[in-house]
Amino acid sequence: MPKLFTGAEIVFKALEDQKVDYIFGYPGGAVLPIYDELKNHKSIKHILARHEQGAGHAAEGYARSSGKPGILLVTSGPGATNAVTALTDAYMDSVPLVCISGQVPTHLIGTDAFQECDTTGITRPCTKHNWLVKDVNDLARVLHLAFEVATTGRPGPVLVDIPKDIQFKKGKYSFSKSTLKKKLNGRATHKTSNKELDKFIDLLKKSSKPIFYTGGGVINSGPQASEYLRELVSLTGFPITSTLQGLGAYPGDDPQFLGMLGMHGTFEANNAMHDCDLMINIGARFDDRITGKVDEFSPGSKKIHVDIDPSSIGKNIKVDLAIVSDVSKFLKSLIKRFKEKNKNFLSSNKQKTSKWWSTIEKWREKKSLNFINSNKIIKPQHAVQRLYELTKDKDTFVTTEVGQHQMWAAQHYKFNKPNRWMTSGGLGTMGYGLPAAIGVQIANPGKLVVDIAGEASVLMTMQEMSTAVQYNLPIKIFILNNEYMGMVRQWQELLHEKNYSESYTAALPDFVKLAESYGCVGIRAKTPDELDEKIKEMVNIDRPVIFDCLVDKAENCFPMIPSGKPHNQMILGPEEEEEISEEGKILV
Amino acid sequence: MAKSKSAYSVPGKIGKIERHIIVIWVDNEAGVLARIAGLFSGRGYNIESLAVAEVDKKKHISRITIVTEGTPQVIEQINLQLKKLVPVHKVADFKRTDKDILFRELALFKMLANSKKQEKIKKICKNFNPVVLDKSKKSFVIQVTALRADIDKLALDLKRYGLISTSRTGAVAMTKGAQIFS
């Protein structure tokens, strides 16, 4: 007779076999048996958040900075519903999360019991898959399957709902890998053929106006993928641009890098995307912030799309060569094949792309990220630039909230390594950055972790500062404080006749005193001349810091493709602001 | 309305709408139908008809047949998104016009009709495998199997013969000849 374990023991045995070292969570009635079992498993540490959403974003930060799945443990009812924002965020940005939720005992399911909700029903559209475990003998299989689904193919969140009586019941435990075998799970089922590789190489060779357009898929494919990408870009000599999520896969300060593309991307990146004759999309998904109006998106180009998720290809933009593959595996075989037959490609092809490069240089001369600096008031872009200059020599990890500060961070902070940049791109979750920074710091002890924040966003999950203090996590919350929901204010200025409806926060807390009340350090910078010293002070403190950086309240984020304009017509700065069409105003 | 010049979230050109029959083999587990239906509703796809039943008692495999409409791009997305679902084993996709595929729907009609009328009704239905399932002096229930359009027309024709209730299944599909869907 095999040894029997309680459901709660099975949970931990599975977590141990999956080599989990941290769980982010919050206890409650329906998960008490699991919390009771925690004491018997010393290799697994629990990080107690202050809200399940915070625990979820922390697990995301942990996953994105470490490449391992993040684990979330919550109770039934409100515990599960509070986790929904984080699960949806992870689903949109392809972050592997395993959420374990307690549920009311099986005999109470469906009776509107205390703290009961239809957790699997609520989370079905925001997870890759979820399970309600009604038999303790299914639990081990389901948990291991959950890890497999979360981490294979295009990664994403999964949820396992475990009723309280199942946590007490005794059952068998076994660990068998690869239970998915026969199922598709959105995985690539074929190996890339030489024919496909040759077609790819042929397109590269024929192009005189090429561009690489890379995204979060490169990061998700592991650090090796970034190495291959760098090799391919240097072998071809082609220009490269990146989506918000792809930043760091290619060095941000390299001359072949044109900066981020999209709504707030650089002039040169967006124009190169529009005018190119070959677009090589590696691990990006033609999101609407990138394409703008799809009918007018890069009209003259052949398009290659490499993606691990077959449903991403052809969803928004039709492509000429579709390759369903993991980025790392594909680039490895492509580079091998390319090198075999094209010994001196870089020098022999230089002539062909030289005109393209000089066009790009002309776009670059616009210096679209420039802003009018001031010596009286801190410009938010200046603050990010100074933060970058003063932290670039360290292996710094940056998270952000959502809004203007997020775009300024993406524009002015240059990333050189993958997994150093954690931002909520798909869902655009205000309040993401602070708890994410907690998860990043857990996964990367001793490293500098900065949340570039806005004062409105950060207040949404401010309670997690208490978590940072409890676990001695020296995260730095760098608030660009303009007292407005900046991006809302910007759109109201440009699109709604400066009717700043409800976008000003009239009663903000004193962030320095707030920091002190949490037991961490508060620093305030009011003028440009004290900024550098204060940033250095922040970096040197080995405790959590809230940095209240008072910035220009009226600054707008440029360049910008405004609604109502074609893709290659950007507003570069305040002097170019003009009327936006009536139709443009209704768009998001 | 003037032609929009907008850069964001403007619908692109809409392709030609086609009707497709999609057959899905799934694990017959709790919530599987909700997953399929939720995928359709969540992404704004349309379900015209739906037929589902377990076809393999041992392996607990259900076969779901969905009739849907969409542009070629949407139909492709439906197929690819379905294949991503964990309980889905395989997906097959057909057009109504495919020559080597059989399609059938079943309908039950309840008629208020005396025996004279009943004979007439049977004649109207004669090309659609009519079976009388229940009969009384004043009423009867007739079963037909046919293509969707035939049943649509039949239902219309039967109205003036005392049709008081209609019950229809969704379409089911099968290949002709010896081969099976793969």
Least confident span in A112-126, A373-387, A488-502: A488-502
User: Which residues in chain B (39-78) have CB-CB distances under 8 A to chain A?
Assistant: 42, 73, 76-77
**Pair (A101, A215) in one structural domain:** no
A311 touches chain B (CB under 8 A): yes
Smallest Cβ–Cβ distance between A184 and the set B1, B9, B84 belongs to: B84
Q: Are residues A231 and A164 in the same domain?
A: no
Position A274, amino acid: H
Same structural domain for residues A152 and A207? no
Whether residue B9 and residue A288 make contact (CB cut-off 8 A), yes or no, is yes
* A115 part of the active site: yes
Whether residues A140 and A221 fall in one domain: no
pLDDT digits (tens, 9 = 90+) for B133-182: 999 989 999 999 999 999 999 999 999 999 999 999 999 999 999 888 76
For residue range A444-487, list pLDDT tens digits in order: 999 999 999 999 999 999 999 999 999 999 999 999 999 999 99
Report pLDDT digits (tens) over A148-158.
999 999 999 99
pLDDT band at A182 (very low <50, low <70, confident <90, very high): very low
Q: By C-alpha distance, which of A380, A360, A413, A427 is closest to A208?
A: A360
Q: Are residues A139 and A252 in the same domain?
A: no
Contact yes or no for B12 and A294 at CB 8 A? yes
Give the pLDDT confidence score for residue B6 in this predicted structure. 40
Encoded tokens for A3: 């040894």
In chain A, residues 251-270 whose CB comes closer than 8 Å to chain B: 263
Residues A509-521: tens digit of each pLDDT? 999 999 999 999 9
Asked if the C-beta of B14 comes within 8 angstroms of chain A's C-beta atoms, the answer is: no
Q: What is the 3-state secondary structure (H, E, C) of A184-250?
A: CCCCCCCCCCHHHHHHHHHHHHHCCCEEEEECHHHHHCCHHHHHHHHHHHHHHCCCEEECCCCCCCC
The three-class DSSP label of residue A570 is coil
Tokens of A307: 């993606």
CATH of domain B101-174: 3.30.70.1150
- Confidence class of residue A587 from pLDDT cuts 50, 70 and 90? low
Same fold, B18-95 and B101-174: yes
Q: What is residue B128's predicted lDDT score, i.e. its pLDDT? A: 95
Alpha-carbon distance of B42 to A311, in angstroms, equals 15
* A143 falls within a domain: yes
Answer whether B5 sits within 8 Å of A583, measured CB to CB. yes
User: Residue A284 corresponds to which amino acid?
Assistant: A
Q: Per the domain annotation, does A350 fall within a domain?
A: yes
- Do A205 and A314 have their domain in common? yes
Same domain, A308 and A419: no
| Average predicted confidence (pLDDT) for chain A | 93
User: In this model, does residue A253 exceed pLDDT 50?
Assistant: yes
Q: Tell me, yes or no, whether A23 and A144 share the same domain.
A: yes
Q: How many domains does chain A have?
A: 3
3-state helix, strand, coil in chain A (%, to 5): 45, 15, 40
Give every CB contact of residue A208 below 8 A, 6+ residues apart in sequence.
A277, A352, A353, A355, A356
Domain containing residue A336? 194-364
Q: Does residue A424 surpass a pLDDT of 80?
A: yes
Cβ neighbours for B178, distance < 8 A, ≥ 6 positions apart: none
> Is A243 among the domain residues?
yes
Domain residue limits, chain B: 18-95, 101-174
Arithmetic mean of pLDDT, B46-55? 94
Residue A577 lies in a domain: no
A261 and A345 both lie in a single domain: yes
B31 touches chain A (CB under 8 A): yes
pLDDT tens digits for range A135-148:
999 999 999 999 99
DSSP symbols for A471-526: TT---EEEEEE-SB-HHHHHHHHHHSTT--TT-B-SS---HHHHHHHHTSEEEEE-
Closest residue on chain B to A580 (Cα): B6
- A146 lies in the same domain as A280: no
Q: Touching check for A310 and chain B: CB below 8 Å?
A: yes
Q: Which two tokens stand for residue B175?
A: 């290949």
Catalytic, A487? Answer yes
CA distance A344 to A462: 55
Tokens found for residue A557: 């984020």
Q: Which helix (H) or strand (E) holds B107?
A: strand B101-112
> Looking at the domain assignment, is residue A573 inside a domain?
no
Chain B residues whose CB is inside 8 A of the A567 CB are 7
The confidence score (pLDDT) of residue A532 equals 98
- Which residue from B5, B80, B88 is facing A564, i.e. has the nearest CB? B5
Do A161 and A205 have their domain in common?
Answer: no
Q: Please report residues of B whose CB lies closer than 8 A to that of A128.
A: 84, 86
Q: Out of B2, B73, B86, whose CB is closest to A185?
A: B86
Peptide bond between residue A559 and the one before it cis (omega within 30 degrees of 0): yes
CATH of the domain at A520: 3.40.50.970
In this predicted structure, the answer to whether residue B9 has a pLDDT above a threshold of 80 is: no
Nearest of A571, A560, A557 to residue A379 by alpha carbon? A557
Q: Do A337 and A405 belong to one domain?
A: no
CB contact under 8 A, A184 and B88: yes
Minimal C-alpha gap between B121 and chain A (Å) = 46
Chain A interface, mutation test: which of B74, B86, B91, B182, most A Cβ atoms within 10 Å? B86
- Quick: pLDDT tens for B100-143: 899 999 999 999 988 888 889 999 999 999 999 999 989 999 99
What residues of chain A lie within 8 A of the CB of B8, using their CB?
263, 288, 292-293, 561, 563, 587-588
Question: What phi and psi values does residue A513 have, to the nearest 5 degrees?
Answer: -70, -35
Class in CATH terms, B18-95: alpha beta
Residue A137's region, left for phi above 0, alpha for psi from -120 to 50, else beta, is: alpha
User: In angstroms, rounded to a whole number, what is the distance separating the alpha carbons of residues A152 and A304?
Assistant: 23
Tell me if A314 and B9 make a contact (CB, 8 A cut-off). Answer: no
CATH number for the domain harbouring residue A198? 3.40.50.1220
Q: At residue A98, what are phi and psi to the nearest 5 degrees? A: -115, 115
pLDDT band at A246 (very low <50, low <70, confident <90, very high): very high
Nearest-CA distance B38 → chain A (Å): 7
Question: Would you call B38 an interface residue with chain A, using a CB distance cutoff of 8 Å?
Answer: yes
Tell me what the mean pLDDT of segment A184-211 comes to: 83
